Structure 1
Amino acid sequence: MNIDDEIEKLKFQVEMLGQAVDFEKFPITSLVFEFGWNKDQLDAVYNCFEEAENLLDDDSDSFNHAWFEQLFHKSVGVGYQGLKAIVLSFYREQRYMNVCVAYVKSMGERVSVEYHRIQQDIAAQEEK
């Protein structure tokens, strides 16, 4: 078997492994397969969340959804739909939840239906 055939076989096997990952249990790992990221690209996602968390700590009034979306577009190359998957995965895995909540809150009334769970959690917290 030549090297090209071996590469194609490995690509197929990795794709199959990605499909076997339980999204509910391992949402961030599933993202890696879904987006085809390498370690540096996943690190860039974490860096975006770190930058957003630092902004929230230092000057929360400066945080808004447009800034967050632009940060991910510039750093990771994902648009709004891709960012939606990232935010939901990080929230499900309980990572950077404060950033995910701030992002959804900053959208005001224009929140996508996919963020319903986060909105419910926000409403529950505000009732307390």
Structure 2
Amino acid sequence: MRQFVQTRDELYDTIITRASIPKSRIVVATAFSHTATYYRAQLIKRIEHGEIAMKGINQLILKNGTRIYINSASDTSLLGMRTDLVAIDEVMHLNIVNMASFIGNCLKVSKDVIVTDEKITERVETLRIFGFENI
């Protein structure tokens, strides 16, 4: 699955749906570290009460064994592991070369990558080169 969505709500829904599969590994990458903190807070709000086993600084571990890692796109250390889903937000804040490089790295570790940004339409053609489709 290589998809792009128009809103963060759609991205949250995709992350939470995938998190319901036991022992999944999900990486959420944002352009800025302060946005990663915001994402963590939003996911905590949206995941069913009692489903979170541990809240780390940049990760959530659910009772079903799913791990959600949340970090900025500049921290590529998380991309050395196998993941079931990579969710990328704020792709417009990466220049075109960095965006292409980062998405390429994400595709190496996960067959499922989903991206979004408020201004996603400005990069739709670039995303289609990578095989992304709108959902």
TM-score, normalised via structure 2 length: 0.28
Going by fraction, where is strand more abundant, 1 or 2? 2
The structure in which a higher percent of residues are helix is 1
Which structure has more relative contact order (CA 8 Å, sep 6+)? It is 2
Q: Taking structure 1 as the reference length, what is the TM-score of the superposition?
A: 0.29
